[in-house]
Chains A and B, each alone.
Chain A
């Protein structure tokens, strides 16, 4: 898994609430058997019209907005457990998703793929949207070590929560499998003690 320590980048604002994983990656693209290449189909039905032409109304197609941070509306990633959603976001080039609320499964999937979900207050999220609207080049700094997100131009910052185990994993690029396998003895003892 990719390590994550610190990132400074401009952001793409997606001010829609309840973005579900069927929008992030529609089910018809889940037929692959590898993890690669999902970025191409990220938000496919919002980025493109049905005839394949570009939907110029969608923010991803507005070249003013670029960056490795996605700033999204409340309850991001709800719906299906498909990890393909996290793979698509990662593959497209995002390292951070900021929202005022994340669905559980998406959050876990993101963390397992080196994508940092940063949960902020609705007020701070609005501040981010406002600053990005004022200046699309607004740089946002995300520091995992100090658990802080800062709008570079204004210095306005917010703390964010992350479970200390997951933080260690992300800072070092560890995943859960190694940890679980290192506990095999305890797992076997548990199995043997069950009635």
Chain B
């Protein structure tokens, strides 16, 4: 039978099937962070169950961490307590932790790929819905709840019903200024926030084949925003080249053996998906969102649609936008470049390329937050930091930062923020804050202009 990429990886990890029920799926790598793990450790302790495979778990501190003065004790008592609980739990259970200040610290979905922990053909989980990011490597990676974190601690397995398969193909040539973030925002705007629920999504077509690993991670990261538990892209030479030589990647002959296996993973020609969508790359433009879910996106040059339903109106009221309005020239005082969606080196290169020789708008407070210590270092070594500083921007320290209003980086009530993160939910970036999702290019342009501009006009 013809198999999909997803089928091949899934089937290679089934330990057993429960009759008329779920399957026991083996998990290769388990990533944990401070927010969704303490209750799982607590549960195991309470029941006297040991952690089964501590060497397959990697921990980082990212959600609840400050992005300035990381060398000082964390000010907020609850945050500090949660972080020290993570440290204690990792020590007690022999789990590797890249805590605050460690050279490998950073956002969980940035550090695992850059350390070579993420590899094609694996199954990976984390108590975080953006675990779908790792699917960029041809990995089955998805977010889980804390009860499931405890299950993986206890058995390195999960009980799961195999999801249905979905394929989104984008073919053709992308216009100038259209970044991977625009591609995924476009797909979600077209399909809606629940088109993928119950499915695992494969992204196919020349647009993804030609994308860098950073771009593929941005795309797979937002799979959950259309409801899909995970997204995947077939591993290829670009993938192998990225993984090769990284700290935890297989080395030498072992690497070659793995590559030979990874090459067997792409979807067989003629394999059937439960659902398929096709899009033309030429139709995609730089995107922005105007509402309070990631499906409420438009091309930057378009007007907000006119719809008549209570949820739509509630959303526009929260954003203080009108139906039919254009967002061009909308004044914006906050800009955030960061999060597990767009905080990799390529994102800062795009921003720096646009910013070079320009000045930050006076009204703008901009937070540029690298995804990891390694990204931060690379920004410095490539000289991007100087570009930012000359324009009036200052780099912060790695972490989830203003993506989720959990640490100190919060957008004030009523303010608009053009953000490269993944969710524009009410209050996501701070109580009453109004999030406009966009690519790092659109975010950089907003930071320079102090308002939303039609970036396509500058590029053509």
Contact = CB atoms under 8 A, between A and B. Distances in A.
Interface of A: 15-18, 20, 22-23, 26-28, 30-35, 45, 50, 73-75, 78-84, 86, 101-105, 108-109, 112-113, 163-165, 175-177, 179-181, 183-184, 186-187, 190-191
B101 interface: no
Closest 3 CB pairs of A and B: A165-B21, A83-B145, A81-B143
Given A81-B143, A177-B47, A45 B431 contact: yes
A180 B157 contact: yes
Contacts of A31: 35, 64, 76, 78-79, 81-82, 406
A176 B159 contact: yes
A81 B431 contact: no
B144 A104 contact: no
A109 B16 CA distance: 22
Contacts of A176: 147-148, 151, 158-159
B16 A186 contact: yes
Given A108-B148, A164-B20, A187 B155 contact: yes
Contacts of A34: 38-39, 42
Interface in B201-254: 224, 227, 229
Contacts of B52: 184
B155 A181 contact: yes
A78 B22 contact: no
Nearest to B229: A104
B368 to A, nearest CB: 21
Interface residues of B, number: 67
Given A78-B194, A81-B129, A30 B35 contact: yes
A27 to B, nearest CB: 4
Contacts of A74: 194
A45 B426 contact: yes
A83 B36 contact: yes
Interface in B120-165: 127-129, 131, 143-148, 150-151, 154-159, 161, 163
Nearest to B153: A177
Contacts of A105: 129, 143-145, 229
Nearest to A1: B147
B100 to A, nearest CB: 15
Contacts of A81: 36, 127-129, 131, 143-145
Contact of A27 (B145, B194, B406): B406
Contacts of A184: 52, 155
A191 B24 CA distance: 13
B103 to A, nearest CB: 26
A186 B15 contact: yes
A25 to B, nearest CB: 11
Interface in B173-218: 193-194, 197-198
Nearest to B257: A195
B79 A23 contact: no
Contacts of B148: 108, 112, 176
B47 A20 contact: no
Interface of B: 15-16, 18, 20-22, 24, 26, 35-36, 38-39, 42-43, 47, 49, 52, 63-64, 76, 78-79, 81-82, 85, 127-129, 131, 143-148, 150-151, 154-159, 161, 163, 193-194, 197-198, 224, 227, 229, 293, 310-311, 314, 404-406, 413, 423, 425-428, 431-432
B147 A45 contact: no
Contacts of B151: 176-177, 180
A23 B318 CA distance: 13
A79 B435 CA distance: 15
Contacts of A102: 197
Contact of B193 (A35, A75, A104): A75
A22 B156 contact: no
A20 B22 contact: no
A192 to B, nearest CB: 12
B78 A32 contact: yes
A138 B311 CA distance: 25
A20 B315 CA distance: 13
B428 A22 contact: yes
A178 B247 CA distance: 36
Interface-central residue, B42, B79, B197, by most chain A CB under 10 Å = B197
Contacts of B147: 83, 109, 112-113, 175-176
A108 B145 contact: yes
A187 B49 contact: no
Given A23-B426, A181-B155, A187-B26, A18 B193 contact: yes
B24 A164 contact: no
A177 B150 contact: yes
Contacts of A113: 147
A120 to B, nearest CB: 16
A153 B15 CA distance: 48
B195 to A, nearest CB: 10
Given A31-B406, A163-B21, A26 B85 contact: no
Given A35-B42, A187-B24, 13 more contacts: A16-B310, A17-B311, A20-B293, A31-B76, A45-B426, A81-B129, A83-B36, A83-B145, A101-B194, A104-B163, A108-B144, A109-B146, A190-B26
Contacts of B36: 81-83
A82 B432 CA distance: 21
Contacts of A16: 310-311, 314
A187 B406 CA distance: 37
Contacts of A86: 145
B194 A15 contact: no
